[in-house]
Amino acid sequence: MLGGFGSISFTDIRGSDQFLKNLFKMKPAPGRGQALDCGAGIGRVSKGLLMSWFDRVDLAEQDGAFCETAGKELEGTGKLGTIYNKGLQEFVPEEGKYDLIWSQWVLGHLTDEDIVEFFFRCTKALRRNGLMVIKENFTNGDKPELDRCDSSVTRPLALMKQLLTKGNLRVVKELRQKDFPKGLYPVYMIALKPIINGS
C-alpha cells in the first residue's frame, strides 16, 4: 500500500514496467507463464504490472479484506490464479511454480530471521531461469529505522543484501526508482537469482 502517496502509483508502475522489460532482455530470460505477487494488498501491482507480462498471477496477502477486494478487482482479467490469505512469515509457495516472484513494500513488516527464511522458500519456488524481484524503501544511513506508526522497519541497502545472501539469493540487476517526490526514502528494485538451485 502507498501510505498516503497514492499519486505515485503511476510513476511506481512505470518504473517497475521498465525494470521488467530489461529483465526479459537477459539471456537466458525468465518465462512469462506464472508470477507471484507477495504482500499483494488489493492487487494494485498484479493488475497494473504483472498481468501485462504473465499468463497467470497468484497473490499472497495476509489481510483478508484486501484479499476479498483483490479477488473482485481481478476476477475479470482472465489471469487471476490463487489468492493465498497468508502472511509471508508463514507462506510457503509451491516448489518450482513461478517464473517471477515480486515482493514490494512488505519486507519492512518482517523480522530479519523471517526475511531470510522467506527468501529460502522463494528460491525453491522459482522455475528454471526464474527471478525474484524485491522493491523496497531503504534508509540513507547505516542503521535500520523504525516507523512507530505501523511498526515497520526500513533497512539500509547493505543490510538487505546481507539478508539476501543468507537467504541463498544473489543480485543480478539493481536500479533506483526515479521521479518519486523528494522527502521519501530511496526506493530500489533488485532482481535476484538463487545462488544454489540450478536456476
pLDDT in tens, 70-121: 999 999 999 999 999 999 999 999 999 999 999 999 999 999 999 999 999 9
Residue 43 lies in a domain: no
Q: Do the Cβ atoms of 105 and 1 come closer than 8 Å?
A: yes
Kindly tell me if the per-residue pLDDT of 1 is higher than 60.
no
Q: How confident is the model at residue 140 (pLDDT cuts 50, 70, 90)?
A: very high
Using CA atoms, how far apart are residues 132 and 135, in angstroms rounded to an integer? 10
Residue 21 lies in a domain: no
SS3 assignment, position 73: helix
Residue 34 lies in a domain: no
Query: Residue 15, annotated ligand binder?
Result: no
The helix (run of H) or strand (run of E) holding residue 99 is strand 98-104
- Number of folded domains that form the chain: 1
Using CA atoms, how far apart are residues 39 and 104, in angstroms rounded to an integer? 7
* CATH assignment at residue 173: 3.40.50.150
Domain span including residue 137: 87-194
Residue 61 lies in a domain: no
SS3 assignment, position 23: helix
Any idea which of 23-32, 74-83, 144-153, 166-175 has the lowest mean pLDDT? Answer: 144-153
Using CA atoms, how far apart are residues 146 and 117, in angstroms rounded to an integer? 21
Query: Residue 44, annotated ligand binder?
Result: yes
Query: Residue 23, annotated ligand binder?
Result: no
**Mind listing the pLDDT tens digit for each residue in 9-30?**
999 999 999 999 999 999 999 9
State residue 101's pLDDT score: 99
CB atoms within 10 A of CB 28: 8
Query: Residue 88, annotated ligand binder?
Result: yes
Q: Do the Cβ atoms of 57 and 31 come closer than 8 Å?
A: no
Question: What does the DSSP 8-state code read for residue 50?
Answer: I
Residue 148 lies in a domain: yes
